[in-house]
Amino acid sequence: MNENTIQSQSIWDEQSGLQNFTTPNRAELLEELNINKSSKILDLGCGYGRTLKMLWKLGYKNILGIDYSDGMLNIAKESIPNISFYNCKIPKELPDIRNLDVVFFLTVANSIISDLDLNKIFEFVNNNMNNNGVFIFDDYVLSEDNNYKNRYLLGLNEFNNYGLFRSNGNEVFKHRPKVIFDSLFKEFFTIEKCTINEEKSMNNRKTSLIHYILRKK
Ligand SMILES: C[S@@+](CC[C@H](N)C(=O)[O-])C[C@H]1O[C@@H](n2cnc3c(N)ncnc32)[C@H](O)[C@@H]1O
C-alpha cells in the first residue's frame, strides 16, 4: 500500500469544532526562551489555532498558520482574524515563507506517514529559518501500552510497518520511537531539550508525548 495514500485529510475537517486538543499549546515557552515580541513565528499544522491565539494574547503579532483542513482553518481565522493562514498539504505544498524565528510543529508528525516526508518538512523549516531559529516539536512516541501494541500489530499485518495503526475512526496514524526523531533532527537541528511525559491523545487514550526544543544548525 502506498504510504502517501493511506491517510485521509477529511478526518480533520470532520474533527474541526468537535476537538479541543488537550496537549500543551507551548505558547508560553517563548517568554521563557526570551523570544522577542516582533519575532516571525509559524505554526505548522496549526489546527484551529489554539497556539496562535495564545501567542497573539501574549503580544506576538508577527505570526502565521499553515494547515490543510478548511474546517480547522475556518475556526482559526475566526478566532485570530488579523493574521495570514495558508491552506497547504505539507510537504507536497510548501509556501514561500522565509526568515522565520520560531516554528511550532505540535502533534502533526503522527499524521505524516512517511519518514521521507517528515525529513522534507524539517528541511523546509531549516531552510527558511533565521540563524539561531527555534523549532518547537511535540509528537506521540511509540507506546508500550498494550492497547496501542495491539493496534501496531494489526498495522504491521496490514501495512508491513510497526507503528502505523488505525484509529477508532479507521484513520491511519504513525507513532515513531524517539531514535527516529533524533536521527531525523540530526541533519538540521541541535537538541536543546527533550522530555517525554504522559498525556492524553485526542481520543482520550494514555500516550507518551515527546517534546523537543531544537535550534537551527
Ligand atoms: C492533532 S492536530 C494539532 C493541531 C495543532 N498543532 C495543535 O496542537 O493544536 C493536527 C493538525 O495537523 C494538520 N495536518 C495533518 N497533516 C497535515 C499535512 N500533511 N499538511 C498540513 N496540515 C496537516 C491537521 O489538519 C490538524 O489540524
Q: Is 173 in the pocket of ligand 1 (CB under 6 A)?
A: no
Nearest atom of ligand 1 to the alpha carbon of 21? 9
Residues 137/189, Cβ–Cβ less than 8 Å:
no
- Please tell me the distance from the alpha carbon of residue 139 to that of residue 106, in angstroms, as a whole number: 6
CA distances, 9 to each of 67, 127, 205 (Å)? 11, 26, 22
Tell me, what's the pLDDT at 6?
59
Question: Closest Cα to atom 12, ligand 1: which residue?
Answer: 45
Nearest atom of ligand 1 to the alpha carbon of 90? 20
- Which triple of cell numbers denotes residue 195? 522530555
Tell me, what's the pLDDT at 8?
64
Tell me, what's the pLDDT at 4?
47
- The reported pTM is 0.95
Q: Is 49 in the pocket of ligand 1 (CB under 6 A)?
A: no
- Please tell me the distance from the alpha carbon of residue 28 to that of residue 26, in angstroms, as a whole number: 6
Residues 130/215, Cβ–Cβ less than 8 Å:
no
Tell me, what's the pLDDT at 7?
61
Q: Is 209 in the pocket of ligand 1 (CB under 6 A)?
A: no
3-state secondary structure of 8: coil
- Please tell me the distance from the alpha carbon of residue 46 to that of residue 18, in angstroms, as a whole number: 16
Say how many Å lie between the CA of residue 15 and the centre of ligand 1.
11
Break the chain into its structural domains and give their ranges. Answer: 9-14+28-139+190-216
Helices then strands, counting H and E runs in the chain, come out as: 7, 9
Non-local (6+) Cβ contacts of 32 within 8 A are none
Q: Is 75 in the pocket of ligand 1 (CB under 6 A)?
A: no
Q: Given ligand 1 and candidates 67, 103, 200, which is best to mutate, with the most ligand atoms within 8 Å of its CB?
A: 67
Closest CA to 119 of 142, 96, 90, 140: 90
Query: What is the second-level CATH architecture of the domain 9-14+28-139+190-216?
Result: 3-Layer(aba) Sandwich (3.40)
List per-residue pLDDT tens for the chain, 217 residues long. Answer: 555 455 667 788 877 777 788 899 999 999 999 999 999 999 999 999 999 999 999 999 999 999 999 999 999 999 999 999 999 999 999 999 999 999 999 999 999 999 999 999 999 999 999 999 999 999 999 999 999 999 999 999 999 999 999 988 788 999 999 999 999 999 999 999 999 999 877 777 788 999 999 999 9
